[in-house]
Amino acid sequence: MARFTRIEVALRMKETGLVPVFYHKDIDVCKKVLKACYDGGIRVFEFTNRGDYAHEVFNALNKYAAEHAPEMILGIGSVIDAGTTSLYIQNGANFIVSPIVNSEMAKVCNRRKVSWSPGCGSLTEISYAEELGAEVVKIFPGSQVGGPSFVAAVRGPFPWTSIMPTGGVEPTEENLKGWFKAGVHCVGMGSKLFVKDGDGNFDYQQLTQKAKGTLAIIQQFKG
Q: What is the pLDDT of residues 125-176, one digit of tens each?
A: 999 999 999 999 999 888 888 899 999 999 999 999 999 999 899 999 999 9
**Cα distance between residue 181 and residue 148, in whole Å:** 8
| The pLDDT value given to residue 141 | 84
Beta-carbon contacts of 204 under 8 Å, excluding residues fewer than 6 positions away, are 32, 33, 35, 36
Domain spans, the chain: 6-221
Helix (H, G, I), strand (E, B) or coil at 117: strand
Closest CA to 109 of 87, 131, 79, 89: 89
Q: What is the mean pLDDT of the chain?
A: 96
Closest CA to 34 of 61, 14, 58, 3: 61
- pLDDT over 90, % of the chain: 91
User: pLDDT for 68-103, tens place per residue?
Assistant: 999 999 999 999 999 999 999 999 999 999 999 999
| The pLDDT value given to residue 223 | 64
In this structure, which CATH number among 3.20.20.70, 3.40.190.10, 3.30.450.80, 3.40.710.10 belongs to the domain 6-221? 3.20.20.70
User: pLDDT for 113-138, tens place per residue?
Assistant: 999 999 999 999 999 999 999 999 99
